Amino acid sequence: MKSLKEDYFNAFFSHIYVEESVRKLPRTKEILSKFPSAKIIEIGHYKDVFCRSKQCFTLQHRSQNLILAAKRGTLIYEGAPVCQSFGNDHFYYTSCMMNCVFDCEYCYLKGMYPSANIVIFVNLEDVFAQVEEMLKSHPMYLCVSYDTDLLALEQIIGYAEKWCAFTEKHENLKIEIRTKCANRLYARNARPVPGVIYAFTLSPQAVIDACEHCTPALKERLSCVAEMVKRGIPVRLCFDPMIYLPGWKQYYEEMLRQVYDTIDLAKIVDVSVGSFRISQDYLKKMRRQEPDSAVVWFPFQNEDGFYHYPNELMEQMESFLAERLEEKISKEKIFRWKE
């Protein structure tokens, strides 16, 4: 008889592709042990599967497969101009996992990657080594969960906890773990690490229902945030990206009421506010993948190769939210992406 744990894990990833070079690594074996029913396929390089031509991201996302590989070449990247540095001079990100189990229509990964399959780079220690080398020259603010949602797969890979343990050893390192997850088990067991900020992306329930498919409800995310805040864990609230829907102001008002009723804002590290924006190249690919998405096909304005809402609407949305937040939290703690 199968255990409940085995049934849970085997609801995902019926096929797992494994690079031959990492097949015998302890971390690879540990991950594979959680999927006893999966078909294991050895490959030479993850791109042989991940970068095949004529893949349909949308269809593939309905039945994602897993790829275990080694990250080679560049491991740390400079922060992109559409992302917020939160006042940090040395802003970087890294991708120890690519793609996400959630299925948000507006997710830039759909324009960035040719495949919806999830890649886990099992050589995390190589990333740690490169971070340590860079820390010899200057402090770092490093985002480790931009191209995925680490907490959504924490039960499988445990990378969030490994990053916490690593960061705890380096006073000049600050990391952000961004998530839409509502992993209450993790929240109850996580420990405060001064250099680790958990950044929860929050959206009105109407936006979640319309286009953040497979993600936890707002109520569930807020419950997770409240648990972590209560336990003294540094938390950032990310109202980013704000998504336009007819009646958006009412939806965001209601969201803020839920936030105020659930979370002690005095204990929040800071807040991020930003409306949807994306590279023109990514949006072009996303529109091919999602021809029926109202969010993706909005008549955006192009500015220097990036699409965003028309200036008047963008300013209206972001100012509305920022001004409401200023009623509850100091202006110095509110970061807008264009400021």
- pLDDT at 4 (0 to 100): 37
pTM for this model (two decimals)? 0.93
7 confidence band (pLDDT: 50, 70, 90) = very low
Residue with tokens 């000049």: 172
With CA atoms as reference, report the closest residue to 143 among 201, 87, 93, 99: 93
- pLDDT at 204 (0 to 100): 98
Tens of pLDDT, residue by residue over 85-110, are 788 889 999 999 999 999 999 999 99
- Look at 306 and 81; give whichever has higher pLDDT: 306
165 confidence band (pLDDT: 50, 70, 90) = very high
Tens of pLDDT, residue by residue over 198-226, are 999 999 999 999 999 999 999 999 999 99
- pLDDT at 64 (0 to 100): 94
List Cβ<8 Å contacts ≥24 apart for 52-60: 52/114, 52/115, 53/114, 55/114, 55/115, 55/116, 56/289, 57/110, 57/113, 57/114, 57/115, 57/116, 57/289, 58/110, 58/116, 58/289, 58/290, 60/115, 60/116, 60/117
Question: Average pLDDT for residues 9-32, to the nearest whole number?
Answer: 90
Q: Are 72 and 48 in contact (CB under 8 A)?
A: no
- pLDDT at 11 (0 to 100): 58
- pLDDT at 339 (0 to 100): 56
Is the per-residue pLDDT at 80 higher than 90? Answer: no
pLDDT, averaged across the chain: 93
Is the per-residue pLDDT at 5 higher than 70? Answer: no
Is the per-residue pLDDT at 1 higher than 60? Answer: no
Q: Are 170 and 141 in contact (CB under 8 A)?
A: no
